Chain A
Amino acid sequence: DTAVSQTPKYLVTQMGNDKSIKCEQNLGHDTMYWYKQDSKKFLKIMFSYNNKELIINETVPNRFSPKSPDKAHLNLHINSLELGDSAVYFCASSRGTSTNTGELFFGEGSRLTVL
């Protein structure tokens, strides 16, 4: 039973298209995250939600829009895809408090390739 699951695992699309990645966690955690890992393996936080409320919004183009319908789900929608959006997007969750994120549990990642 996968703790943090993301779909799809692979996504190949043309520039200018819109795509979504979905994430679900069954750990009962309050906090969920989106991280982007580029080709150099650098992991950068994009967004964080706590109990459906956006708490971290890094300097990310507003083409990226996260949505959390409930605390077990965090989706990522990307409009007008660009070549530079190609990366692996990881969803993660944690118990998370304001002073300690706690252990992050990562999903298996969604590899997005923009042609």
Chain B
Amino acid sequence: GQQVMQIPQYQHVQEGEDFTTYCNSSTTLSNIQWYKQRPGGHPVFLIQLVKSGEVKKQKRLTFQFGEAKKNSSLHITATQTTDVGTYFCAGGAQKLVFGQGTRLTINP
């Protein structure tokens, strides 16, 4: 079945440093979504990418969808303590398959 792999599993940064998480799918994706889950919270939708090579920005967050629509990345510039949490990518048409998530911790 479809698999979505995400790396790294954990990332610890100093506040102000950049952070990137990468997502790879075993199959071509019709779209990819990104979610953020704060500690003790529930996943919250961030964005959906649909087009090959698409790049979208939300303030300090930049999301990319690969040309082959099999990989994606989320980059955070100048992290802040409010960015702490686990970031998940998810892909699939009728069934959304989640990556394992990247847990981001930040040293203030």
A and B held together in a complex: yes
User: Which residue numbers of A lie inside 8 Å of B, CB to CB?
Assistant: 35, 40-45, 48, 55-56, 90, 96, 98-109
In the complex, whether B42 has a CB less than 8 A from a CB of chain A is yes
Q: Can you list 14 A-B contacts with CB-CB less than 8 angstroms, sorted by A residue number?
A: A41-B37, A41-B101, A42-B101, A44-B98, A56-B95, A99-B30, A100-B31, A100-B93, A101-B94, A102-B48, A103-B33, A104-B96, A105-B45, A106-B44
B103 touches A90 (CB 8 A): no
User: Which residue numbers of B lie inside 8 Å of A, CB to CB?
Assistant: 30-31, 33, 35, 37, 41-45, 48, 86, 88, 90, 92-98, 100-101, 103
- CB < 8 Å: which of A42, A43, A99 contacts B93? A99
B86 touches A41 (CB 8 A): yes
How many A-B pairs have beta carbons closer than 8 Å: the answer is 59
Q: How far is the CA of A43 from the CA of B96 in the complex (A)?
A: 10
A43 touches B101 (CB 8 A): yes
A42 touches B100 (CB 8 A): yes
Minimal beta-carbon separation of A41 from chain B (angstroms) = 5
Q: How far is the CA of A55 from the CA of B95 in the complex (A)?
A: 9
A108 touches B42 (CB 8 A): yes
Minimal beta-carbon separation of B97 from chain A (angstroms) = 7
Residues in B whose Cβ lies below 8 Å from that of A105: 45
Minimal beta-carbon separation of A107 from chain B (angstroms) = 7
